[in-house]
Amino acid sequence: MALSREEWLPREQAHRERADALTADHRARLSRGEKHPVWDFLHTYYAYKPAQLRRWHPGAGVELRDAAERAGWRWYSPGATPDAVVPDADRYAAEKPELAALVKRMLRRTASRPGQFGCFGLHEWAMVYRADEHRHPVPLRLGKDGTDAVVESHDLRCTHFDAFRFFTPQAVPRNRTTLSRDGQPQVEQPGCLHAGMDLYRWAMKLGPLVPGELLLDTYELARDIRLLDMQAAPYDLAAWDVEPVRIETPEGKAEYVRRQRGFAERGAVLRAALLRAWLGSDARAVA
């Protein structure tokens, strides 16, 4: 597939405008030196700058005509005509074989499993369990004793290592499974909120192999999931107008699972789209 300059320039401009709109509040807070306990995560834990998010790519194997200014861009190769370039999946795989293999493994294996929907977001509660201090300088909605009681009255079922690794020492043995980095591809499942947010991470790591529109779709999913993640957390975020999802109640659990299932469905569509955009090219040889 090839796009003329008249075809790809409007897509590039539309992408930049959409990215700027998505990050406008964050950039404004940054200019004022303000922190936000919910939204900063999208730009600190996922350490990608707004400038990276606004850079549009057509996706693997899509040739851009009259794009001499992109000659020399990473993982681009010359196209079939002068001044044409194309994101090159083979070049990416050759330069980043371990990363390419990991991303493919994580996407495919997560997609192959059924979603699990009984965790109720208790990973955030396990991160403050029996701790005198916690990661966010925000008060606990139920206080320390009330928060500990919620953890002790539930079964911890976290399947995401990057949440589990922040559990307090007292919470670690309460989880159904002891998780590890090496074992992450074997346990990641599509019902997990963080597995859905991580689609943004994988899209960014694939760089120009992912169409810009799809990248922003993964960012929007990560943003929407992040809100539920913190609404269901033990923190009192009323000062930021964040209404809690009270997962310690039957009504809160039902709302959490309903929204969690919706995110899993959105994530499944985007996960499949990432695989198609990337492996629909000549990247099938990635291990």
Express each pLDDT in 202-249 by its tens digit.
999 999 999 999 999 999 999 999 999 999 999 999 999 999 999 999
pLDDT digits (tens, 9 = 90+) for 1-52: 999 999 999 999 999 999 999 999 999 999 999 999 999 999 999 989 999 9
Instruction: State the total domains in the chain.
Output: 1
Q: What is the pLDDT of residue 36?
A: 95
- Give the DSSP letter of residue 77: E
Q: Is residue 287 pLDDT above 70, yes or no?
A: no
Lowest mean pLDDT among 200-209, 253-262, 276-285: 276-285
Residue 209 counted as domain residue? yes
Burial 23-56 (b: 16+ CB within 10 A, else e): beebeeeeeeeeebbbbebbbeebebeeeebbeb
For residues 119 and 131, give the distance between their C-alpha atoms in angstroms, rounded to a whole number.
Answer: 21
Residue 131: inside a domain, yes or no?
A: no
Decide if pLDDT at 136 tops 80.
no
- Count the Cβ atoms, other than its own, within 10 Å of residue 83: 15
Residue 117: band (very low, low, confident or very high) from pLDDT cuts 50, 70, 90:
very high
> Is a pLDDT exceeding 60 seen at residue 281?
no
Residue 136 inside a domain? The answer is: no
pLDDT higher than 70, residue 267:
yes
What pLDDT is recorded for position 284?
Answer: 39
Residue-number span of the structural domain to which 215 is assigned: 2-117+183-279
- The pLDDT mean for the chain works out to 94
In a domain, 124, yes or no: no
Q: Which of 23-32, 126-135, 164-173, 278-287 has the lowest mean pLDDT?
A: 278-287
Which of 218-250 are b and which e, b meaning 16 or more Cβ less than 10 Å from the residue's Cβ?
Answer: bbebbbbbbebbbbbbbbebeeeebebbbbbee
> What confidence score (pLDDT) does residue 4 get?
96
pLDDT score for 285:
35
- Is residue 173 one of the residues assigned to a domain? no
Asked if residue 270 belongs to a domain, the reply is yes
Q: DSSP label at 3?
A: E
Does a structural domain hold residue 148?
no
Could you give the count of Cα atoms lying within 13 Å of 15 in the half-sphere of its Cβ? 23
Q: What percent of the chain has pLDDT over 90?
A: 93
In this model, does residue 177 exceed pLDDT 90?
Answer: yes
Q: What are phi and psi of 39, to 5 degrees?
A: -85, -20
Mean pLDDT of 57-74: 95
Question: Which pLDDT tens digit goes with each residue over 84-108?
Answer: 999 999 999 999 999 999 999 999 9
Is residue 157 included in any domain, yes or no?
no
* pLDDT over threshold 60, residue 135: yes
